[in-house]
Amino acid sequence: MKPPRKLHIKSYGCQMNVYDAQRMVDTLAGEGFVETASVDDADLVILNTCHIREKASEKVYSELGRLRVVKDDAARQGRELKIAVAGCVAQAEGEEIIRRAPTVDVVVGPQSYHHLPQLLARAKSEGRALETEFSVEDKFGFLAPPKPDAIRARGISAFVTVQEGCDKFCTFCVVPYTRGTEVSRPVAKIVDDVMRLADHGVREVTLIGQNVNAYHGEGPDGQSWPLGKLLSRLAEISGIVRLRYSTSHPLDVDDSLIEAHRDVPALMPFVHLPVQSGSDRILAAMNRKHTAADYRKAIDRFRKARQDIAFSSDFIVGFPGETEEDFLATLALVTQIGYAGAYSFKYSPRPGTPAAEMRETVSAEDMDERLVRLQGLIDSQQSAFNMAAIGKSVDVLFERPARNPGQIVGRTAYLQPTHVMAPADIIGQVLPVRIASLERYSLLGELAAPPHALAMRPVSSHITHGA
C-alpha cells in the first residue's frame, strides 16, 4: 500500500476560511492525503488566503518566498512538494500569482475547492493549474463530508456554511468580488450536515456566511426559509445544545430571527452585528444602507426578545472623509450600545472597490490615534462585561482539557473561555459554573455541584421546539 501523502494547510482570515480549510482536507482525504502540522514533511502545502484588509497579498508573497526554500530542500532530498494558493487572494490575483511566484503549482478560488483533485492532476501533467471561475454548479454538493474520525478530532464545536457571498457592496469591501453574489444552501442539506456532526459528538454549531442573516435557502416545503426558521429546525436535532450564527447585517434582521432568539433556548444570546461607523454621513459613504438609528432599533428588537442578549461588532476607523466629528459619533454609539467585545480596524483601500477611488484620505496619525481611542473604549466595555460574571453561576459548554493539568476549558454563552478543575468526562456537557475570578480574558470557577452529582444530569439539557 502507498504511504499517505501529507497535506499542510495554513489559513488566514475569517471563520469561513477555517471551514473551507476543513472541507479541503476532507476532499483531499479521498485522494489519500492526511493532515500534517508541519510544512517540513508535507507533500502539499495550501495557503488559504484572506484579502479583506491590508497587506494580505504581500504576506502571501513573503510566505511563498519561504516555501520556495522548503520546496528546493525537499527536491534535493528527492521529494516533491506541491504548493497551492487558495482563498480570496487567489480569487482576486490568480494570474498575478502565477506570474510572480513560479514556485506555485495550483491557484484555486473559493468556488472551486471541489475541483482540487483534478487541479492537482492537471498541475502534474501540465506543470501548473489555475481555476478562479465562479462555477455554476453547487460546490457544496461535491465537497466531501467529513469522516467520523475527522469530526471527533475537531472537537465538540463545529462551523457549517449555510450561505456564501454578499450582494450588499459596501464601498470598502472586497467580499462581493472575491466570494461572489449571495447563495444559500437548501435546508435539507444543512440538516443532514448538522445531524452527521451531532452523531459524532458535536454539541455546538455555528452557522456561517458572509451575510448569514440574508439566508433564504429552499425548505423541504419548497418555500424560501429565513435564518430564524432554519435555526428553529436545527434546534430539534438531538445532541445539538448550542446554536450560533455569524456574520450578520443590520438590514437583514427580520422577525424570524428575533422570534428565534425569543423561542429557541439553544440559540445563544450573543450576536455579532457589525455597524462599522456611528456616523450617518460615513455610513452613507460606505453604502451600508442604514443609519445609526436603524442599527440601534435592530439592537432594541433583540433586547426586547431576550433580556440577557449581548453584542459584538466590527468598526472601521479612518474611512475616507471621516472627520473627528464622525469619529465622535462612533464613540457615542459604542457608549450607547455597550458591547461585550468588538473588533476595530484601520481602513485599508482594497483595489477594485469604490472607496479605493475616494480621495479624501485620513492621515495615518489620525487613524492610529482614533484606533487607540476606540479600542480603549471597547476594552473597558469588554472588561466590565467579563467582570460582571464574577460571583454568578453561568452555563458552560466544556470543550477540551486546558493546558494546566486537571483543568477543563469551556465557553459561556458569550464565548468567554472558562476554566474549572474537573474530570475530563464533563467534555461535551453544559454545566453551571460558579465564577470566582477573571484572569486576562479567561474566567476561573468551580462546578456549581460536585461532578458525581452532575454526572447524573442528561447530556442534552436543551428543550426542543417545532419548526
- State the residues that interact with ligand 5AD by CB under 6 A: 52-53, 172-173, 274, 276, 314, 316, 345, 347-348, 350
CA atoms within 13 A of residue 351's CA, in its CB half-sphere? 9
**Do 168 and 188 form a contact (C-beta atoms < 8 A)?**
no
Which of residues 168, 189, 346, 434 is near ligand SF4 by CB under 6 A?
168
d(CA 9, CA 46): 5
Shortest reach from residue 184's CB to ligand SF4, in Å: 15
Measured from the CB atom, the residue of 274 and 428 that comes closer to ligand 5AD is 274
Which of residues 114, 200, 249, 462 is near ligand SF4 by CB under 6 A?
249
Measured from the CB atom, the residue of 36 and 213 that comes closer to ligand 5AD is 213
Q: According to the binding rule CB under 6 A, does residue 166 interact with ligand SF4?
A: yes
Shortest reach from residue 409's CB to ligand 5AD, in Å: 26
DSSP one-letter string for 390-444:
TTSEEEEEEEEE-SSTTEEEEE-TT--EEEEE--GGGTT-EEEEEEEEEETTEEE
Nearest position to ligand 5AD, beta carbon: 314
Q: Which does 310 bind (CB under 5 to 8 A by kind): ligand SF4, ligand 5AD, none?
A: none
Shortest reach from residue 92's CB to ligand 5AD, in Å: 12
Which of residues 27, 57, 211, 344 is near ligand SF4 by CB under 6 A?
211
Shortest reach from residue 345's CB to ligand SF4, in Å: 11
Measured from the CB atom, the residue of 36 and 210 that comes closer to ligand SF4 is 210
Instruction: Kindly indicate which of the ranges 62-70, 170-178, 216-224, 297-305 contains the residues binding ligand SF4, using the contact rule CB under 6 A.
Output: 170-178
Sign of CA dihedral 371, 374, 270, 276: negative
CA 137 from chain center: how many Å?
Answer: 24
Selection from 269, 100, 273, 249 nearest residue 182 by Cα:
249
- DSSP summary character for residue 463: P
Q: Which does 316 bind (CB under 5 to 8 A by kind): ligand SF4, ligand 5AD, none?
A: ligand 5AD
Shortest reach from residue 275's CB to ligand 5AD, in Å: 9
Instruction: Kindly indicate which of the ranges 21-29, 138-146, 168-176, 384-392 contains the residues binding ligand SF4, using the contact rule CB under 6 A.
Output: 168-176
Instruction: Kindly indicate which of the ranges 6-14, 33-41, 65-73, 164-172 contains the residues binding ligand SF4, using the contact rule CB under 6 A.
Output: 164-172
**Reading across the β-sheet that carries 33-35, which strands appear in turn?**
33-35, 5-11, 44-49, 82-86, 106-108, 129-131
Which of residues 25, 85, 173, 426 is near ligand SF4 by CB under 6 A?
173
Q: According to the binding rule CB under 6 A, does residue 13 interact with ligand SF4?
A: no
Q: Which does 52 bind (CB under 5 to 8 A by kind): ligand SF4, ligand 5AD, none?
A: ligand 5AD
> Which residue's C-alpha cell is 452557522?
207
**Do 168 and 177 form a contact (C-beta atoms < 8 A)?**
no
d(CA 341, CA 385): 8
Strand partners for 309: none
Angle at 393 between CA 389 and CA 396, to 5 degrees: 90
d(CA 138, CA 112): 10
d(CA 220, CA 187): 7
Please tell me the count of residues contacting ligand SF4 according to CB under 6 A: 10
Q: Which does 249 bind (CB under 5 to 8 A by kind): ligand 5AD, ligand SF4, none?
A: ligand SF4
